[in-house]
């Protein structure tokens, strides 16, 4: 089981590195799904099967599909890949990579001074999660529904297509409102 964890972790890290470095958005998205699947594997071996299932169903299944839809609507082609290549000069990586490397070195030090290990045995199945979720976290579930309402209304309002896009492009640059 331990080997499973380390292999999944390696896959997750490698594929995430690919996500942030790809030029083609669809390729990045595929790597992202690989990464999420690897993380689901880790959840499973950590004794959280319910969360593992949700990671696949909601994250890899639903949220990533939203990204796919957006990319299809944007209709990015080969020229987008070329543009990305120009944007991503090696120099543009140097700063962030160094910064994050420093942060990360600090983190290794912190973790090296922390003890404790995962308790062996059973894990927490959907039953325990469900009892806690609809027990002491009931208010949280209600609030989560309000959060989804905000997401729904916001996406509906912002996402609606505007008629007569040609003129509005020009007008919007000048910051003038066009009434429908």
Site for other proteins in 23-62 (CB under 8 A): 25, 28-29, 32, 35-36, 39, 42-43, 45-48, 50-51, 54, 58-59, 62
Reduce the DSSP state of residue 100 to 3 states and report it. Answer: helix
Residues from 67 through 86 that contact other proteins (CB under 8 A): 67, 69-71, 73-74, 84
Size of the site for other proteins (CB under 8 A): 110
- Considering Cα of 36, then 42, then 46, then 50, what sign does the dihedral take? positive
How near is the Cβ of 117 to other proteins at its closest, in Å?
5
How near is the Cβ of 60 to other proteins at its closest, in Å?
10
How near is the Cβ of 33 to other proteins at its closest, in Å?
11
Q: 107-140 burial, b for 16+ CB within 10 Å, e for fewer? A: eeeeeeeeeeeeeeeebeeeeebeeeeeeeeeee
Q: Among residues 56, 38, 47, which one has the least CA distance to residue 126? A: 47
Q: 3-27 burial, b for 16+ CB within 10 Å, e for fewer? A: eeeeebeebbeebbebbeebeebee
Query: Quick check: 90 binds other proteins (CB under 8 A)?
Result: no
Residues from 139 through 168 that contact other proteins (CB under 8 A): 139-140, 142-144, 146-160, 162, 165, 168
Residues from 107 through 136 that contact other proteins (CB under 8 A): 107-114, 116-124, 128-129, 131-133, 136
How near is the Cβ of 176 to other proteins at its closest, in Å?
8
The encoded tokens of residue 139 equal 């208010």
How near is the Cβ of 113 to other proteins at its closest, in Å?
6
Which member of 7, 82, 85, 104 binds other proteins (CB under 8 A)? 104
Task: Name residue, tokens 């309000």.
Answer: 146
């Amino acid at each position: 089981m331990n080997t499973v964890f380390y292999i999944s972790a390696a896959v997750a890290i490698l594929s995430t590195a690919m996500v942030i470095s790809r030029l083609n958005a669809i390729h990045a998205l595929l790597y992202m799904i690989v990464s999420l699947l690897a993380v689901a594997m880790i959840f499973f071996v950590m004794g959280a099967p319910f969360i593992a299932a949700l990671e696949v169903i909601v994250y890899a299944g639903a949220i990533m599909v939203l990204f796919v839809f957006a990319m299809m609507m944007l209709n990015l082609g080969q020229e987008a890949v070329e543009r990305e290549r120009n944007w991503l000069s090696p120099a543009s990586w140097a700063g962030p990579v160094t910064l994050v490397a420093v942060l990360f070195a600090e983190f290794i030090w912190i973790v090296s001074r922390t003890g404790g290990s995962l308790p062996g045995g059973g894990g927490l199945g959907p039953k325990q999660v469900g009892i806690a979720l609809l027990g002491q976290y009931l208010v949280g579930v209600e609030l989560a529904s309000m959060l989804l309402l905000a997401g729904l209304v916001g996406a509906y309002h912002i996402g609606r297509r505007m008629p007569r896009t040609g003129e509005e492009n020009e007008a919007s640059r000048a910051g003038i409102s066009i009434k429908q």
